Amino acid sequence: MTLRKPFPPIEPFKMGRLDVGDGHELYFEECGNPSGLPVVFVHGGPGSGASAPHRRLFDPQRYRIVLYDQRGCGRSIPLGSLENNTTWHLVDDLERLRRHLGIERWLLFGGSWGATLALTYAQEHTERVLGLILRGIFSGRRSELDWFYDWGANRLFPDHWENLVASIPASEQDDLVAAYRRRLTHQDRAVRAQAAKAWTAWEAATVMMRTTNPPNPSPSATATDGQIAFARIENHYFFHELWLEEGQLLDNIDRLAQTPGVIVQGRYDVVTPAITSWQIAQAWSKADYRLVEGAGHAFAEPGILHALLEATDRFADAFAGR
């Protein structure tokens, strides 16, 4: 089988900022066909942002592609702000963005944390959702957080785990998320930067199933403002357990009984292990579950990318001439 390649690079036909209140302004852009099938790309993290490669997941002739950066992320301002920044603020922001762009209903595309937010929004605003394409679902349950920051992934990556805990005293290592929160919210930028380097390096080391160039950041390099913002926001969300009730997204999956979805999951994803997406797929009758062999977490892994491109084409076919 020949694996699919992304669509050619494109530039936005519209860019802007949306004032969502609480001192936050969101960056957004639109690409592709202004009359095409509306899709919003919900980026991961929390704390990262959308980027040019994400535009290439959709056929620009058939899709009206909306990308945006969540509160405090990427090109949104203020960068790295934790004030008025919760899952429920972000759900409201998505709805504000939809109304601002004059879109009646849209498709949601999200991976990892992006899948979390897409599912949360879809369960609250089902009537506005045409369908969902989700990758490597993270639902925010305690077991998922513990797997990555306590007792699970460290057994597969003991060398990188050692780097994550190296600067944390043994007395604080029973709760790494809380330990890092103290450092990522410290008034001294140097303390925040050191913590952000270690936090982001752990994630970078685990996201791909295979890599020929393992992350090996220079000990002397300092974290950028963007890296600090990413680490602060991600840690902030994990510290507060995403402001979701335990098991909420799985418990409420019946709200999507009439909503079509595609779930793409890497078999060897150690960031968001397959058990979560599997359980959601079993409870969601209209979900098409694609378990990709020989793949981990990242959307750019060849098998994952192939399945995602197939999914975006399938939805474009399904809604052609709507």
* Those residues with Cβ within 8 angstroms of residue 54's Cβ, 6 or more apart along the chain or in another chain: 41, 43, 67
Catalytic residue among 81, 269, 277, 306: 269
- The torsion angles phi and psi of 208, rounded to 5 degrees, stand at -105, 145
Query: Scanning the structure block, which residue is given the tokens 């579950």?
Result: 289
277 has catalytic annotation: no
Note whether 278 and 289 are within 8 A (CB). Answer: yes
Q: Is residue 202 left, alpha or beta, with left meaning phi > 0 and alpha meaning psi from -120 to 50? A: alpha
CB hemisphere CA count around 25 (13 angstroms)? 9
Catalytic residue among 43, 160, 236, 297: 297
- How many other β-carbons are positioned within 10 Å of the β-carbon of residue 187? 6
269 has catalytic annotation: yes
Catalytic residue among 48, 76, 81, 112: 112
d(CA 283, CA 294): 25
- If you write DSSP's letter for every residue of 209-223 in order, what string do you get? S--SS-----TTPPP
Bridge partners (DSSP) of residue 131 are: 107
d(CA 259, CA 275): 21
167 has catalytic annotation: no
Which DSSP category does 151 fall into?
A: I
Which DSSP category does 77 fall into?
A: B
Catalytic (active-site) positions: 112, 269, 297
